[in-house]
């Protein structure tokens, strides 16, 4: 097992489930994923669970049966959530409408980054960074987790990296 500590983004659950690994096709994937999610160095933010709960589907039913290490959004995370938004705004890489997409308290992404920053966790996400962000052509769409992580000096990786580090086999 890796000594690195991880926090898992919502899309690491939704993307495989909705796009290419439904339960009936990949039971081995979900069995292995379930076991690795129980490890003491793997965390899930309460807001991520809430995003998945919104769908109230087979994925949520599977997830709620796992004894997860849940990080609750507390005062420290809320305080650093403001720091995340400030860093994005100060960078000049995002238009106001882009930043506004992360001001919804139900949007897990900025809180996920805040929790990772406070707890020295690697964010596991399937998002990829937008290349060549700059002040001359700021982003109009929703900020991407990897770009925000970079601004906050938070390490981010994808599921492939996570499964290799955690020695997951399925």
Each residue's pLDDT tens digit, 51-90: 999 988 999 999 999 999 999 999 999 999 999 999 999 9
DSSP 3-state of 156: strand
8 Å CB contact between 134 and 71: no
Architecture of the domain delimited by 1-170: 3-Layer(aba) Sandwich (3.40)
pTM value? 0.96
Q: State the Cα torsion 90-91-94-99 to the nearest 10°.
A: -40
Per-residue pLDDT tens over the stretch 117-161: 999 999 999 999 999 899 998 999 999 999 999 999 999 999 999
What does the chain come to in residues?
170
Q: What are the sequence ranges of the domains in the chain?
A: 1-170
Given 3-state DSSP classes, what are the helix, strand and coil percentages for the chain, each rounded to the nearest 5? Answer: 50, 10, 40
Q: What are phi and psi of 123, to 5 degrees?
A: -80, 130
8 Å CB contact between 126 and 13: no
Per-residue pLDDT tens over the stretch 9-62: 999 999 999 999 999 999 999 999 999 999 999 999 999 999 999 988 999 999
Spatial neighbors of 126 by CB under 8 A, at least 6 apart, are 9, 11, 12, 15, 158, 159
């Amino acid at each position: 097992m890796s000594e690195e500590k991880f926090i898992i983004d919502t899309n690491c659950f939704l993307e495989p489930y909705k796009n290419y690994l439904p339960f009936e096709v990949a039971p081995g994937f979900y069995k292995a994923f379930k076991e690795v999610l129980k490890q003491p160095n793997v965390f899930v933010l309460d807001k991520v669970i809430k995003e998945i709960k919104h769908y109230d589907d087979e994925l949520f039913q599977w997830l709620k049966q796992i004894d997860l290490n849940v990080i609750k959004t507390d005062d420290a995370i809320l305080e650093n959530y403001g720091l995340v938004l400030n860093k994005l705004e100060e960078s000049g890489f995002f238009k106001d409408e882009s930043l506004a997409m992360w001001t919804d308290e139900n949007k897990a992404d900025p809180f996920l980054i805040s929790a990772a920053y406070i707890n020295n966790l690697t964010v596991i996400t399937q998002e990829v960074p937008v290349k060549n962000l700059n002040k001359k052509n700021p982003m109009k769409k929703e900020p991407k987790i990897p770009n925000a992580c970079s601004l906050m000096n938070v390490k981010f990786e994808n599921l492939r990296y996570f499964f290799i580090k955690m020695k997951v086999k399925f």
